[in-house]
Amino acid sequence: MNSSEFDLIIVGGGIAGLTAANRAAQLGAKPLLLEKGTDEHYLCNTRYTGGTLHVCMADIMAGEAAHLAAIEKLCDNARPDLARAMAGNAERAVRWLQAEGCKFIKASASPHHRWVLAPPGRKGPGLDWEGRAGDVLLRRLGANLEERGCRLMRGARVLNPIMEEGRCVGVVAKVGSETTEFRAKAVILADGGFQAAPDLLREHITPRPEKVHQRNAGSGTGDGLRFAMEAGAATVGMDKFYGHLLSLDALSNERLWPYPYLDAVVTAGVLVNPEGHRFTDEGRGGVHVANSVAGLEDPHASHVVFDQTIWEGAGRHGLIPCNPHIPKEGGTLHEAQSLGELAGLIGMPAANLEETVARFNAAVDAETIGELTPPRCTVKGEPVAIRTAPFYAMPVCAGITYTMGGIAIDGNARVLQTDDTPIEGLYAAGTTTGGLEGGSGAGYVGGLSKSTVTALLAAEHAAG
Ligand SMILES: Cc1cc2nc3c(=O)[nH]c(=O)nc-3n(C[C@H](O)[C@H](O)[C@H](O)COP(=O)(O)OP(=O)(O)OC[C@H]3O[C@@H](n4cnc5c(N)ncnc54)[C@H](O)[C@@H]3O)c2cc1C
């Protein structure tokens, strides 16, 4: 293959890479997509996705102004140009995918479930991707790319940039046992983040990466980030990830991940450490709480505590609720008639747990939860007093789906240096990028929407 025949090299064949490749080909460019997976149905996060296209857990068709307000509220570190680009192109991303032949359904009455890839990626507990949401989308976009006369080369792991006079002019990749250079006018990194790179997780996210559940496909090993840094890129927002709070048993029980997750019960109840004390703001929701748990010295030592009212209320929320699925699938659910007895079951000082719950209940009654230590908000849901026996406790772990931070990009998906100027010829798209999601509350905008929008922007700027 003569590598000088390409205009654009795209690294990674998830939704971001395939969107960028197809969009570039539509615009008359000749892209080459390099994917490290060797299997025809290589695993990536897109393959496993639940398939909901949303912006900040709201209807993706809600409009630019609503999206921008939501992003600004949730993500206190978002770059204004990226936030505007995301808000202004979200609807277009769905329309573009539709025009490519991707089908959507409405998965529930919730506004954020109005645009879900068909057939939906969540059928029940455990992982079930074949012939579903992301798998169907990848096959469709892969076939479209082939029809456009372009190539997706599997088994090609991109390692290093080729830089000439400050410009990225290609990549060095391992193809089988060979090291090969591929040259082009521009490169788009779409390798999916660093959630499966223990060294980077330890540096940025958790002291104990081996104790965080890999709620992902294992393909995001930070190669794009290392590549971009070698080319001189800045990184941004590296300390937060998108994920959920899972039963601790998910580490050994395949039926307990990626669903069900425990976000709804933790947002209603309390999360306590081995001493029986709260340590995070549960009201910020499961993504924030999962980040807090991952950051602990021992990410396996916390329990969510709640009562019968929460178990029958919030416990039944969601498409695959933890009531009844956690106990039904073999997850631990401690149950007792009093909080003291519950504390005994989980080896916690009874007086401390009773005091924590008493303070929480009093604050809920007096509507003073903001004065608790740590303070409690209602961003993701209302707290519910814990009074009605039986009382319950579940051991939890943090499930990491993708890293929210990464390669700094601007509103055209151009990779930025520390002085905020772009590196010529280098773009990044999808979950390898940073600067939109995260911030102090681990604000979640949306994996699929972010990937599709940034990929369209990168392809359009690079091909233009
Ligand atoms: C269980 C689960 C459920 C989810 N549900 C939702 C949902 O409902 N809604 C939502 O918005 N988001 C959801 N997400 C997140 C969403 O799926 C991802 O954010 C999105 O698919 C990421 O796309 P991507 O193209 O950036 O990365 P990926 O899909 O991970 O693709 C990256 C590709 O790059 C390849 N690659 C990596 N390194 C190299 C290299 N050095 N050289 C060549 N190739 C390389 C990888 O093999 C991979 O194929 C979910 C994720 C999971 C795991």
Confidence (pTM): 0.97
The pLDDT of 49-59, averaged and rounded, is: 97
Percent of all residues in the chain with a pLDDT value above 90, rounded to a whole number: 97
Residue 437 in contact with ligand 1 by CB distance below 6 A: no
| Phi, psi values for residue 345, rounded to 5° | -65, -30
Among left, alpha and beta (phi > 0; psi -120 to 50; other), residue 68 is alpha
* Residue linked to tokens 């307990």: 256
| Phi, psi values for residue 366, rounded to 5° | -85, 0
Pairing of strands 235-236, 406-408: antiparallel
* Residue 212 pLDDT grade (very low, low, confident, very high; cuts 50, 70, 90): very high
Q: Where are the domains of the chain?
A: 3-238+404-463, 251-400
- Identity at 301, one-letter amino acid code: A
Tokens in use for 3? Answer: 């590598």
Q: Tell me if domain 3-238+404-463 and domain 251-400 are identical in fold.
A: no
User: If you classify domain 3-238+404-463 with CATH, what class do you get?
Assistant: alpha beta
**Whole-number pLDDT of residue 147:** 98
Report the distance separating Cα 342 and Cα 91, nearest Å: 48
What 8-state DSSP symbol labels residue 60?
A: T
Pairing of strands 186-189, 422-428: parallel
Please tell me the CATH code under which domain 251-400 is placed: 3.90.700.10
Listed residue (286, 269, 256) closest to 342, CA to CA: 269
Report the distance separating Cα 21 and Cα 144, nearest Å: 10
Residue 45 in contact with ligand 1 by CB distance below 6 A: yes
Among protein residues, the one whose CA lies closest to atom 37 of ligand 1: 191
pLDDT digits (tens, 9 = 90+) for 386-416: 999 999 999 999 999 999 999 999 999 999 9
Residue 430 in contact with ligand 1 by CB distance below 6 A: yes
**Whole-number pLDDT of residue 2:** 47
Among protein residues, the one whose CA lies closest to atom 53 of ligand 1: 216
Mutation test residue for ligand 1: of 10, 18, 46, the one with most atoms within 8 Å of CB: 46
Instruction: Supply the mean pLDDT for the chain.
Output: 97
* Residue 4 pLDDT grade (very low, low, confident, very high; cuts 50, 70, 90): low
Among left, alpha and beta (phi > 0; psi -120 to 50; other), residue 31 is beta
Q: DSSP string spanning 178-219?
A: EEEEEE-SEEEE----STT-HHHHHHHT-S-GGGSEE-S-S-
Report the distance separating Cα 47 and Cα 41, nearest Å: 8
Listed residue (117, 88, 114) closest to 102, CA to CA: 117
Residue 452 in contact with ligand 1 by CB distance below 6 A: no
| Inter-residue contact 397 to 299 (CB < 8 Å) | yes
